Amino acid sequence: MAVAPDKAPAKEAPQGPAPSRALGVVALGLARRFLTLREGSIIVVTLIAAIYFSTTVTNFLSIANLKSLIPYFAFLAIMAAGEVFVMTLGEIDLSIGALYLVTPFAYWKLTQAGVPLVPSVLLALVIAMGFGAVNGFFTAYVGIASFVATLAMLFFLDGLTLIVSHSEEITTPGTSVVHVATFAQVFGAGTYSELFWALGIIVILQIILSFTRWGLYTVATGGNRLGAAEAGINTRLVLLRNFVLCSLTAGFAGILEAVRTSSMSPDPSGSQSDLLLAIAAVIIGGTLMTGGSGTVVGALIGALFLGILTDGLVVKGVSATYEDLYLGIAIIIAMTVNVYVQRVRRGSGRA
Protein backbone atom coordinates (compact mmCIF):
# COMPACT_ATOMS: atom_id res chain seq x y z
CA MET A 1 0.00 0.00 0.00
CA ALA A 2 2.85 2.32 0.86
CA VAL A 3 4.61 1.59 -2.38
CA ALA A 4 1.66 1.74 -4.75
CA PRO A 5 1.40 5.51 -5.37
CA ASP A 6 5.10 5.72 -6.30
CA LYS A 7 5.24 2.71 -8.50
CA ALA A 8 1.97 2.95 -10.40
CA PRO A 9 3.12 5.40 -13.12
CA ALA A 10 6.38 3.57 -13.59
CA LYS A 11 4.62 0.30 -14.29
CA GLU A 12 2.46 1.78 -16.99
CA ALA A 13 5.39 3.43 -18.67
CA PRO A 14 6.67 0.59 -20.88
CA GLN A 15 3.45 0.62 -22.98
CA GLY A 16 3.57 4.38 -23.50
CA PRO A 17 5.52 6.30 -26.14
CA ALA A 18 9.25 6.86 -25.77
CA PRO A 19 9.33 10.16 -23.82
CA SER A 20 6.86 8.96 -21.23
CA ARG A 21 8.74 5.70 -20.98
CA ALA A 22 11.91 7.61 -20.18
CA LEU A 23 9.94 9.56 -17.64
CA GLY A 24 8.68 6.33 -16.16
CA VAL A 25 12.19 4.96 -15.85
CA VAL A 26 13.27 8.14 -14.10
CA ALA A 27 10.25 7.97 -11.81
CA LEU A 28 10.94 4.35 -11.00
CA GLY A 29 14.58 5.19 -10.36
CA LEU A 30 13.62 8.04 -8.06
CA ALA A 31 11.05 5.94 -6.25
CA ARG A 32 13.64 3.22 -5.78
CA ARG A 33 16.27 5.69 -4.62
CA PHE A 34 13.85 7.23 -2.19
CA LEU A 35 12.70 3.92 -0.78
CA THR A 36 16.26 2.72 -0.46
CA LEU A 37 17.05 5.69 1.75
CA ARG A 38 17.46 4.44 5.27
CA GLU A 39 14.60 6.75 6.25
CA GLY A 40 12.49 6.13 3.12
CA SER A 41 9.98 3.72 4.57
CA ILE A 42 9.30 5.70 7.72
CA ILE A 43 8.76 8.83 5.62
CA VAL A 44 6.14 6.96 3.62
CA VAL A 45 4.47 5.60 6.74
CA THR A 46 4.47 9.03 8.42
CA LEU A 47 2.97 10.64 5.33
CA ILE A 48 0.25 8.02 5.27
CA ALA A 49 -0.54 8.69 8.93
CA ALA A 50 -0.59 12.45 8.29
CA ILE A 51 -2.84 12.06 5.25
CA TYR A 52 -5.15 9.74 7.13
CA PHE A 53 -5.65 12.18 9.99
CA SER A 54 -5.93 15.21 7.73
CA THR A 55 -8.75 13.56 5.80
CA THR A 56 -10.62 12.27 8.84
CA VAL A 57 -10.03 15.14 11.25
CA THR A 58 -10.93 18.68 10.28
CA ASN A 59 -8.14 21.22 10.64
CA PHE A 60 -5.52 18.55 11.34
CA LEU A 61 -3.11 20.35 9.03
CA SER A 62 -3.89 23.79 10.49
CA ILE A 63 -1.17 25.90 12.05
CA ALA A 64 -2.93 25.67 15.39
CA ASN A 65 -2.81 21.92 15.35
CA LEU A 66 0.78 21.84 14.10
CA LYS A 67 1.64 23.96 17.12
CA SER A 68 -0.10 21.53 19.39
CA LEU A 69 1.78 18.71 17.69
CA ILE A 70 5.21 20.04 18.71
CA PRO A 71 5.04 19.02 22.38
CA TYR A 72 4.15 15.49 21.31
CA PHE A 73 7.34 14.82 19.40
CA ALA A 74 10.04 17.49 19.82
CA PHE A 75 11.43 16.33 23.16
CA LEU A 76 11.10 12.71 22.05
CA ALA A 77 13.14 13.49 18.94
CA ILE A 78 15.87 15.03 21.09
CA MET A 79 16.00 12.00 23.39
CA ALA A 80 15.93 9.65 20.40
CA ALA A 81 18.74 11.54 18.64
CA GLY A 82 21.21 10.66 21.39
CA GLU A 83 19.90 7.12 21.68
CA VAL A 84 20.65 6.63 17.97
CA PHE A 85 24.38 6.85 18.72
CA VAL A 86 24.18 4.24 21.47
CA MET A 87 22.02 1.91 19.38
CA THR A 88 24.30 2.31 16.37
CA LEU A 89 26.94 0.78 18.64
CA GLY A 90 24.67 -2.20 19.11
CA GLU A 91 24.05 -1.15 22.70
CA ILE A 92 21.01 0.33 24.41
CA ASP A 93 20.56 3.04 27.02
CA LEU A 94 17.51 2.41 29.19
CA SER A 95 18.33 5.24 31.57
CA ILE A 96 17.34 8.10 29.26
CA GLY A 97 13.86 8.27 30.77
CA ALA A 98 15.33 8.53 34.24
CA LEU A 99 17.86 11.13 33.07
CA TYR A 100 15.00 13.06 31.52
CA LEU A 101 13.36 12.90 34.93
CA VAL A 102 16.30 13.70 37.20
CA THR A 103 18.13 16.43 35.27
CA PRO A 104 15.45 19.12 35.87
CA PHE A 105 15.71 18.38 39.58
CA ALA A 106 19.46 18.85 39.43
CA TYR A 107 18.77 22.19 37.74
CA TRP A 108 16.29 23.11 40.45
CA LYS A 109 18.72 22.20 43.24
CA LEU A 110 21.44 24.30 41.61
CA THR A 111 19.22 27.37 41.36
CA GLN A 112 18.29 26.85 45.01
CA ALA A 113 21.96 26.94 45.84
CA GLY A 114 22.10 30.38 44.28
CA VAL A 115 23.52 29.52 40.86
CA PRO A 116 22.02 31.70 38.08
CA LEU A 117 19.56 30.10 35.67
CA VAL A 118 21.68 29.47 32.57
CA PRO A 119 24.74 28.22 34.47
CA SER A 120 22.36 25.95 36.40
CA VAL A 121 21.11 24.47 33.15
CA LEU A 122 24.66 23.91 31.95
CA LEU A 123 25.78 22.38 35.24
CA ALA A 124 22.72 20.13 35.34
CA LEU A 125 23.64 18.93 31.86
CA VAL A 126 27.20 18.26 33.03
CA ILE A 127 25.76 16.16 35.85
CA ALA A 128 23.63 14.26 33.33
CA MET A 129 26.76 13.63 31.25
CA GLY A 130 28.45 12.34 34.39
CA PHE A 131 25.72 9.72 34.77
CA GLY A 132 26.22 8.85 31.10
CA ALA A 133 29.93 8.42 31.75
CA VAL A 134 29.08 5.99 34.55
CA ASN A 135 26.87 4.04 32.11
CA GLY A 136 29.70 4.00 29.60
CA PHE A 137 32.26 3.01 32.20
CA PHE A 138 30.34 -0.03 33.38
CA THR A 139 29.51 -1.07 29.82
CA ALA A 140 32.87 -0.48 28.16
CA TYR A 141 35.42 -0.99 30.91
CA VAL A 142 33.74 -3.29 33.45
CA GLY A 143 32.01 -5.28 30.74
CA ILE A 144 28.42 -5.31 32.02
CA ALA A 145 25.83 -5.55 29.23
CA SER A 146 24.53 -2.06 28.54
CA PHE A 147 20.97 -3.30 28.99
CA VAL A 148 21.75 -4.22 32.60
CA ALA A 149 24.08 -1.33 33.43
CA THR A 150 21.60 1.28 32.23
CA LEU A 151 18.68 -0.58 33.83
CA ALA A 152 20.50 -0.24 37.15
CA MET A 153 21.04 3.44 36.38
CA LEU A 154 17.34 3.81 35.62
CA PHE A 155 16.34 2.56 39.08
CA PHE A 156 19.11 4.52 40.77
CA LEU A 157 18.08 7.81 39.14
CA ASP A 158 14.36 7.23 39.70
CA GLY A 159 15.13 6.69 43.35
CA LEU A 160 17.41 9.70 43.47
CA THR A 161 14.66 11.85 41.99
CA LEU A 162 12.18 10.76 44.65
CA ILE A 163 14.69 11.48 47.40
CA VAL A 164 15.79 14.87 46.09
CA SER A 165 12.23 16.05 45.44
CA HIS A 166 10.76 14.54 48.61
CA SER A 167 8.18 13.12 46.17
CA GLU A 168 6.68 16.54 45.66
CA GLU A 169 5.91 18.44 42.49
CA ILE A 170 8.07 21.49 42.05
CA THR A 171 7.62 24.68 40.06
CA THR A 172 10.41 24.94 37.53
CA PRO A 173 12.73 27.83 38.39
CA GLY A 174 12.75 30.58 35.79
CA THR A 175 9.15 30.04 34.70
CA SER A 176 7.17 31.91 37.37
CA VAL A 177 5.16 34.96 36.37
CA VAL A 178 7.81 37.29 37.71
CA HIS A 179 10.49 35.63 35.60
CA VAL A 180 8.60 35.17 32.33
CA ALA A 181 11.43 36.24 30.17
CA THR A 182 13.77 35.23 27.44
CA PHE A 183 15.12 32.37 29.53
CA ALA A 184 11.86 30.45 29.60
CA GLN A 185 11.07 31.41 26.00
CA VAL A 186 14.40 29.99 24.84
CA PHE A 187 14.48 26.86 26.98
CA GLY A 188 11.18 25.29 26.06
CA ALA A 189 8.31 27.63 26.90
CA GLY A 190 8.32 29.52 23.60
CA THR A 191 5.84 28.09 21.10
CA TYR A 192 8.50 26.94 18.66
CA SER A 193 11.36 26.72 21.14
CA GLU A 194 11.37 22.93 21.41
CA LEU A 195 10.95 22.57 17.66
CA PHE A 196 13.98 24.72 16.95
CA TRP A 197 16.06 22.90 19.55
CA ALA A 198 14.99 19.55 18.15
CA LEU A 199 15.76 20.50 14.55
CA GLY A 200 19.09 22.07 15.52
CA ILE A 201 20.16 19.07 17.57
CA ILE A 202 19.05 16.64 14.85
CA VAL A 203 21.01 18.50 12.17
CA ILE A 204 24.17 18.72 14.27
CA LEU A 205 24.05 15.11 15.41
CA GLN A 206 23.30 13.82 11.91
CA ILE A 207 26.31 15.74 10.63
CA ILE A 208 28.45 14.26 13.40
CA LEU A 209 27.20 10.76 12.59
CA SER A 210 27.66 11.03 8.83
CA PHE A 211 30.61 13.32 8.28
CA THR A 212 33.02 13.11 11.19
CA ARG A 213 35.45 10.63 12.72
CA TRP A 214 33.18 10.38 15.74
CA GLY A 215 30.39 9.01 13.58
CA LEU A 216 32.69 6.80 11.51
CA TYR A 217 34.14 5.21 14.64
CA THR A 218 30.66 4.79 16.09
CA VAL A 219 29.49 2.88 13.01
CA ALA A 220 32.75 0.90 12.87
CA THR A 221 32.55 -0.06 16.55
CA GLY A 222 28.90 -1.02 16.17
CA GLY A 223 29.49 -2.96 12.98
CA ASN A 224 32.59 -4.92 13.97
CA ARG A 225 33.81 -4.31 17.51
CA LEU A 226 36.86 -6.57 17.23
CA GLY A 227 37.80 -5.39 13.77
CA ALA A 228 37.53 -1.75 14.80
CA ALA A 229 39.82 -2.44 17.75
CA GLU A 230 42.29 -4.28 15.50
CA ALA A 231 42.32 -1.30 13.17
CA GLY A 232 43.40 0.78 16.14
CA ILE A 233 40.15 2.42 17.21
CA ASN A 234 39.81 2.83 20.97
CA THR A 235 36.41 1.14 21.02
CA ARG A 236 35.93 1.57 24.77
CA LEU A 237 36.35 5.30 24.50
CA VAL A 238 33.89 5.33 21.58
CA LEU A 239 31.34 3.55 23.77
CA LEU A 240 31.95 5.84 26.71
CA ARG A 241 31.57 9.10 24.82
CA ASN A 242 28.41 7.99 23.07
CA PHE A 243 26.79 7.12 26.38
CA VAL A 244 27.77 10.59 27.56
CA LEU A 245 26.23 12.15 24.45
CA CYS A 246 23.06 10.11 24.90
CA SER A 247 22.55 11.24 28.49
CA LEU A 248 23.25 14.85 27.47
CA THR A 249 20.37 14.86 25.00
CA ALA A 250 18.06 13.05 27.44
CA GLY A 251 18.86 15.51 30.23
CA PHE A 252 18.36 18.46 27.93
CA ALA A 253 14.99 17.15 26.76
CA GLY A 254 14.02 16.88 30.42
CA ILE A 255 14.91 20.50 31.11
CA LEU A 256 13.05 21.74 28.03
CA GLU A 257 9.91 19.87 29.07
CA ALA A 258 10.19 21.04 32.68
CA VAL A 259 10.42 24.66 31.52
CA ARG A 260 7.63 24.23 28.97
CA THR A 261 5.20 22.74 31.48
CA SER A 262 6.62 25.06 34.19
CA SER A 263 6.58 22.22 36.67
CA MET A 264 8.45 19.03 37.36
CA SER A 265 6.83 16.05 38.95
CA PRO A 266 8.87 13.15 40.28
CA ASP A 267 6.81 10.55 38.44
CA PRO A 268 8.98 7.66 37.17
CA SER A 269 6.11 5.96 35.34
CA GLY A 270 5.64 8.89 32.99
CA SER A 271 9.32 9.07 32.13
CA GLN A 272 9.42 5.30 31.59
CA SER A 273 6.82 5.51 28.85
CA ASP A 274 8.84 8.38 27.33
CA LEU A 275 11.89 6.11 27.37
CA LEU A 276 10.04 3.42 25.47
CA LEU A 277 8.61 5.93 22.99
CA ALA A 278 12.08 7.34 22.34
CA ILE A 279 13.48 3.87 21.69
CA ALA A 280 10.50 3.14 19.45
CA ALA A 281 11.22 6.35 17.52
CA VAL A 282 14.85 5.27 17.01
CA ILE A 283 13.93 1.81 15.73
CA ILE A 284 10.99 2.93 13.61
CA GLY A 285 13.30 5.57 12.16
CA GLY A 286 15.57 2.92 10.69
CA THR A 287 18.40 2.44 13.18
CA LEU A 288 19.36 -1.21 13.53
CA MET A 289 19.13 -2.70 17.02
CA THR A 290 22.08 -4.92 16.10
CA GLY A 291 24.34 -1.94 15.51
CA GLY A 292 26.39 -0.72 12.58
CA SER A 293 23.73 1.48 11.05
CA GLY A 294 21.90 4.49 12.39
CA THR A 295 20.08 7.62 11.34
CA VAL A 296 19.33 10.67 13.45
CA VAL A 297 16.97 12.15 10.86
CA GLY A 298 15.12 8.83 10.88
CA ALA A 299 14.71 9.09 14.64
CA LEU A 300 13.19 12.57 14.19
CA ILE A 301 10.71 11.23 11.68
CA GLY A 302 10.05 8.25 13.93
CA ALA A 303 9.25 10.64 16.76
CA LEU A 304 7.12 12.71 14.39
CA PHE A 305 5.20 9.57 13.41
CA LEU A 306 4.51 8.72 17.04
CA GLY A 307 3.58 12.37 17.70
CA ILE A 308 1.16 12.50 14.77
CA LEU A 309 -0.39 9.27 15.93
CA THR A 310 -0.86 10.37 19.54
CA ASP A 311 -1.97 13.87 18.63
CA GLY A 312 -4.20 12.56 15.85
CA LEU A 313 -5.95 10.11 18.13
CA VAL A 314 -6.48 12.82 20.73
CA VAL A 315 -7.84 15.32 18.19
CA LYS A 316 -9.99 12.61 16.64
CA GLY A 317 -11.55 12.17 20.06
CA VAL A 318 -10.50 8.56 20.50
CA SER A 319 -11.01 7.52 24.07
CA ALA A 320 -7.75 7.59 26.03
CA THR A 321 -8.44 3.98 26.91
CA TYR A 322 -7.90 2.95 23.29
CA GLU A 323 -4.86 5.13 22.60
CA ASP A 324 -2.11 2.68 23.56
CA LEU A 325 -3.86 -0.13 21.73
CA TYR A 326 -3.85 1.84 18.47
CA LEU A 327 -0.27 2.91 19.12
CA GLY A 328 0.81 -0.70 19.42
CA ILE A 329 -0.94 -1.69 16.21
CA ALA A 330 0.50 1.30 14.35
CA ILE A 331 4.05 0.49 15.47
CA ILE A 332 3.80 -3.10 14.31
CA ILE A 333 2.41 -1.99 10.93
CA ALA A 334 5.14 0.63 10.52
CA MET A 335 7.84 -1.89 11.35
CA THR A 336 6.37 -4.47 8.97
CA VAL A 337 6.57 -1.97 6.14
CA ASN A 338 10.12 -1.20 7.27
CA VAL A 339 11.20 -4.82 7.09
CA TYR A 340 9.67 -5.18 3.65
CA VAL A 341 11.40 -2.07 2.35
CA GLN A 342 14.68 -3.17 3.88
CA ARG A 343 14.52 -6.27 1.72
CA VAL A 344 14.12 -4.05 -1.33
CA ARG A 345 17.12 -2.07 -0.14
CA ARG A 346 19.32 -5.07 0.26
CA GLY A 347 18.40 -6.14 -3.26
CA SER A 348 19.28 -2.69 -4.58
CA GLY A 349 22.77 -2.80 -3.19
CA ARG A 350 22.67 -0.26 -0.41
CA ALA A 351 23.16 -1.86 2.94
Of the candidate residues 212, 263, 273, 336, the single one contacting another protein (CB under 8 A): 212
Of the candidate residues 124, 219, 277, 283, the single one contacting another protein (CB under 8 A): 219
Torsion of CA 30, 301, 80, 71, to 10 degrees: 160
250 contributes a contact to another protein by CB under 8 A: no
Task: Please count the CA atoms within 13 angstroms of the CA of 172 that sit on its side-chain side.
Answer: 28
> Which region among 41-49, 54-62, 112-120, 225-233 touches another protein (by CB under 8 A)?
225-233
> Which region among 19-27, 67-75, 184-192, 231-239 touches another protein (by CB under 8 A)?
231-239
Decide: 192 and 286 in contact? Cβ < 8 Å. Answer: no
How many C-beta atoms lie closer than 10 Å to residue 50's C-beta?
18
351 contributes a contact to another protein by CB under 8 A: yes
Of the candidate residues 31, 127, 233, 297, the single one contacting another protein (CB under 8 A): 233
How many C-beta atoms lie closer than 10 Å to residue 182's C-beta?
8
How buried is 9 (Cβ within 10 angstroms: 0-12 exposed, 13-18 middle, 19+ buried)? middle
- Cα 295 from Cα 232, distance rounded (Å): 25
Please give the distance of CA 74 from its chain centroid, rounded to a whole number: 8
- Cα 137 from Cα 264, distance rounded (Å): 29
- Residue closer to another protein, measured from CB, 163 or 351: 351
> Which region among 226-234, 253-261, 274-282, 333-341 touches another protein (by CB under 8 A)?
226-234
- Cα 306 from Cα 49, distance rounded (Å): 10
293 contributes a contact to another protein by CB under 8 A: yes
234 contributes a contact to another protein by CB under 8 A: yes
The 88-127 site mask, x for binding another protein (CB under 8 A), equals ----------------------------------------
- Residue closer to another protein, measured from CB, 179 or 213: 213
| Interface residues toward another protein, by CB under 8 A | 207, 211-213, 216, 219-220, 222-224, 226-234, 292-293, 349-351
